[in-house]
Structure 1
């Protein structure tokens, strides 16, 4: 049986969701972030040298990285309906969003998280300076990038209900994390109705709800 090494409030929630969409039985081995550092516990390094989640064990196969795990699961579950036909316009959009989600999309969101944490990690006497630097970098570099990405997501969702086309696909599962993270960190106003509708739609899916039950509390839901 498949085992998912699952870290709370992390990308691995998407793997649980995909497995629920596929109807594939699996076991969850949970790991909890350090309450102070928010880093994964050292036990994960016994599973993967980088100590990151998700990692999927499936017999002889041990697969890390969310996108690689999703590709593995789609390859081992042909006919799932969660991947458009290769070579089609939707297939090309699917491939793009699958890789974009962990590439261009997550970079500014990760930087925002890091710079927000810097003032808490420096000596007390340096915190005023650190807050000023963090605020300046956020306002002038990071926030404009996030705004550009979220505006583009909104525009792309005017073309179709889902990221890869008219049908729900695993690309939407991949994009859920950056869309949820951006919504949590910067919020979506009235100018982002399609992103709000996307979140409402994915959160209402029965498989998404079942994945939450298996994975435990998830801040971005």
Structure 2
């Protein structure tokens, strides 16, 4: 049986959501962050080579990386509604957004967040210089690329209710965490109203609400 090793306030909320959507039996083990560093505890980091969330175990398998885990779980179930098959009209759109979730959107948001931490935690004497450098990076790299992703997403969601088309898929789960963080920061409401409405629809899903209940601590933080 697949067991989710769930780190509080982390990207593993995606996997908990997926498991609740499938409605099949799974194991669950909760891990708290260190209250001082807010990092994962040592016993969590020891679960996989990367030491990052999420992680699942299944017999002798220990697997990290959100999208790898999603595919692995879907491979183990007969429920395939969440993944358009080869030849399906929605397949290409599904593949694009499923991989853009981690390959583009999450990585860009994480890079921007790390840059802000670098400015915030740098020595006061050089903070102004570092702030200018990081501001330039945001202006010429992070900002334009994030805008390109969000513009396409807004356009797609203005024409159909889900990322891959007319049906809910694992692409919506993969993108969910990062979009919810953007909504919490207020990054969507003004410029991307269709995306903001989409996030609100996802948050209303019974499986998402069940995942929040099982987690019991989720408030949303970058991880």
TM-score (norm 2): 0.89
Judge which range, 177-186 or 93-102, deviates more.
177-186
Q: Deviations over 1:29-70 (max 9, x none)?
A: 223334555432322222012211111112233222111111
Structure 1 Cα separation of the partners of residues 37 and 133 of structure 2: 21
**Helix, strand or coil at the partner of 2:102:** coil
Q: Deviations over 1:78-99 (max 9, x none)?
A: 2342122322121222222221
Q: Which runs of 4+ in 1 moved over 6 A?
A: none
Give the match for residue 24 of structure 1. Answer: 24
Q: Say what the alpha-carbon RMSD is for the aligned residues.
A: 2.1
- Alpha carbons 1:28, 1:215 under 8 Å: kept: no
Structure 2 Cα separation of the partners of residues 218 and 150 of structure 1: 25
* Alignment gaps of 5+ in structure 1: none
- Alpha carbons 2:48, 2:62 under 8 Å: kept: no
1:68-79 counterparts in 2 under 5 A? 68-79=68-79
**Helix, strand or coil at the partner of 1:28:** strand
- Alpha carbons 1:109, 1:181 under 8 Å: kept: no
- Cα 1:187/1:64, change in 2 over 3 Å: same
- Alpha carbons 1:8, 1:218 under 8 Å: kept: yes
Give the match for residue 66 of structure 2. Answer: 66
Give the match for residue 106 of structure 1. Answer: 106
1:56-135 counterparts in 2 under 5 A? 56-135=56-135
Aligned residues: 221
